[in-house]
Structure 1
Amino acid sequence: MARNALSEIKRSMEAHIGAKIMLRANGGRRKTVERSGVLEETYPSVFIVKLDQDQHAFKRVSYSYADILTDSVEVTVCNDEGQVRINPLH
């Protein structure tokens, strides 16, 4: 089941390559890190986000699809219709 859920998340992310996204990640010790950027690429196990240069010190971050599945990372896609959250459990 987890394998199928990871495939669904990957497929959902692939549909939004090039779109602006917002990330909310668990930073440890009760910290939440919020980042924004463009979904640059998807790979079999991870996805790459090119961060907005004016807001962040580094250029890219990567997260695994398992991070989304376990709610360690929340991904929200910002498009013309509004905001859509990538949710593995629909």
Structure 2
Amino acid sequence: MSYLPKSINEIKQELENRVGQKVLVTAQAGRKRVAKHHGVLSKTYPAIFVVHVNEGQGAISRISYSYTDLLTENISIDFEDEAQA
């Protein structure tokens, strides 16, 4: 997200408004390693949100993240429609 919301409720509301949009999730995968996943924000729940990721050769998997991950900046999420604008 281009700005950092101040609370979990703000993050949840922002993501609920963007369900179905393409995203790029960048997550810390250990020391000096970063994992990037392109996918679609598919569903929000009270404590987590789910991203459907296309892993190539028709395989689709789901990855879930907590809103706290965004708040603490353990992950970042960029919406592809904003990146092109």
- TM-score of Structure 1 vs Structure 2, range by shorter chain: 0.7 to 0.9
Gaps of 5+ in 2: 1-5
Instruction: Give 1 or 2: higher strand fraction.
Output: 1
Kept in 1, the 8 Å contact 2:23–2:38? The answer is yes
Q: Deviations over 1:42-85 (max 9, x none)?
A: 00000000001318x66010000000001000000112xx329x
Q: 1:24 aligns with which of 3, 23, 26?
A: 26
Partner of 1:87: none
* TM-score (structure 1 length as normaliser): 0.79
Gaps of 5+ in 1: 85-90
Distance 1:8 1:83 in 2: 21
Q: 2:47 aligns with which of 45, 48, 56?
A: 45
How many residues get paired?
79
Structure 1 segments of 4 or more deviating over 2 A?
none
- Equivalent residues in 2 for 1:3-14 (5 A)? 5-14=7-16
Identity of aligned residues (%): 35
AA at the equivalent of 1:5: S
